[in-house]
Amino acid sequence: LCPGTVQRSSSSLVSLIVTEASAQIVHAGQACVVKEDNVSERVYTIREGDTLVLQCLVTGHPRPQVRWTKTAGSASDKFQETSVFNETLRIERIARTQGGRYYCKAENGVGVPAIKSIRVDVQYLDEPVLTVHQTVSDVRGNFYQEKTVFLRCTVNSNPPARFIWKRGSDTLSHSQDNGVDIYEPLYTQGETKVLKLKNLRPQDYASYTCQVSVRNVCG
């Protein structure tokens, strides 16, 4: 070496770290833990017609790929097929048929894929349908006729609807009026409550209202 010449050498070590994928589902809106058949699960509630937004937060190296699926098929019923591969799942104007369990699957080729799920409960309440039926029967050898009227109120809803029958502004209950009976008939489509007016009395000739409502499963 020539006098005054300085020679340096250097080396660097590059460490490539790979980690398994992990995932977490987050959302805006109301969710709660519901217990059914001794099994507790987290339920996200949304009204029919609103926009559903679920986000799958993932970590891992290499960056995991995300795919959304839904119980008994793909989650692409009402939105573009490419959406199921995004970390954010968005469904505009969600329909009642799109409720169910949604799965976020994140995988990057390292270890086993990470899978998280959430149950989406779509709530709805249709307009009730009110129909009237009447029976007339002879009693005690035609001494008089007994007239019975059945008011049938039917509605489609989720969760199950609550019914209130009113005569004018008064709420009816068979425990307070032995001239009426309120019951659920068998073998009917939708949810139905029947108001039976037994052997019509003068006060039974009035205006009747069937009020229906639903309660959020989260209270």
**Is this structure's pTM higher than 0.85?**
no
Q: Which of 66, 76, 69, 72 is nearest to 24 (CA)?
A: 66
Position 175 scores a pLDDT of: 87
Per residue of the chain (219 residues), what is the pLDDT tens digit? 555 554 555 555 555 688 999 999 998 877 777 777 777 778 899 999 999 999 999 999 999 999 998 875 445 454 444 447 788 999 999 999 999 999 999 999 998 999 999 999 999 999 999 999 988 765 555 555 678 999 999 999 999 999 999 999 999 998 889 899 999 988 776 799 999 998 888 999 999 999 999 987 676
Position 11 scores a pLDDT of: 52
- Preceding peptide of 62 cis, ω within 30°: yes
pLDDT digits 0-9 by tens, 59-105: 999 999 999 988 754 454 544 444 477 889 999 999 999 999 999 99
Q: What is the mean pLDDT of the chain?
A: 83
Please report the domains of the chain, with CATH numbers, ordered by start residue.
19-124 (2.60.40.10), 129-213 (2.60.40.10)
